[in-house]
Amino acid sequence: AVVGEYAYIQTGLLSIVNIGRGSDFTVAARHGSPGYSALVEQNGLLFAGRVREGLEILDLTDPEAPERLGQYLDGGYYARLDVMGDVAYLGDMRDGIEVLDVSDPTSPHLLARLPGTASPDPETAA
């Protein structure tokens, strides 16, 4: 996810790369513990799918030091993630599709779980 002068990239950890200085790219910070698998930014929030740790919602007010606002603990493996308005859609390689209400980023909760197809390939999961 690219926000302003920063790119947020899953590299196991969340790597925060300053891209605003032309060709002088630098890793500004790293965040969290290993397990980031999918990232989406919306309105200053970073939605991060985590391997076996569910969905994490981070506040990007300080772009080099994201602050966790909330988390949905599920234990799944999110290979795909999209957010539209107050709803997050997660493609879980084991459990199919999970739909979450994220209107309160401090307390995301499950709206629906839909069956998917189990696949070892993240491109075809859910």
Long-range CB pairs of 50-53 (<8 Å, 24+ gap) are 50/78, 51/77, 51/78, 52/76, 52/77
Tokens of 118: 């189990």
pLDDT (tens digit, 9 = 90+) per residue, 6-30?
Answer: 999 988 889 999 998 777 889 999 9
Domain CATH code at residue 18: 2.130.10.10
Q: Is residue 125 part of a domain?
A: no
pLDDT (tens digit, 9 = 90+) per residue, 71-99?
Answer: 999 877 777 899 999 999 998 877 789 99
Q: Is residue 119 part of a domain?
A: no
pLDDT at 123 over 60: no
Q: Is residue 123 part of a domain?
A: no
Average pLDDT of 112-120?
Answer: 74
Q: Is residue 103 part of a domain?
A: yes
Other beta carbons within 10 Å of 36: 24
Q: Is residue 122 part of a domain?
A: no
pLDDT category of residue 40 using cuts at 50, 70 and 90 = very high
Q: Is residue 52 part of a domain?
A: yes
Q: Is residue 92 part of a domain?
A: yes
Q: Is residue 91 part of a domain?
A: yes
Strand partners, 9: 15
- Please give the residue range of the domain that contains residue 101: 2-114
The count of structural domains within the chain is 1
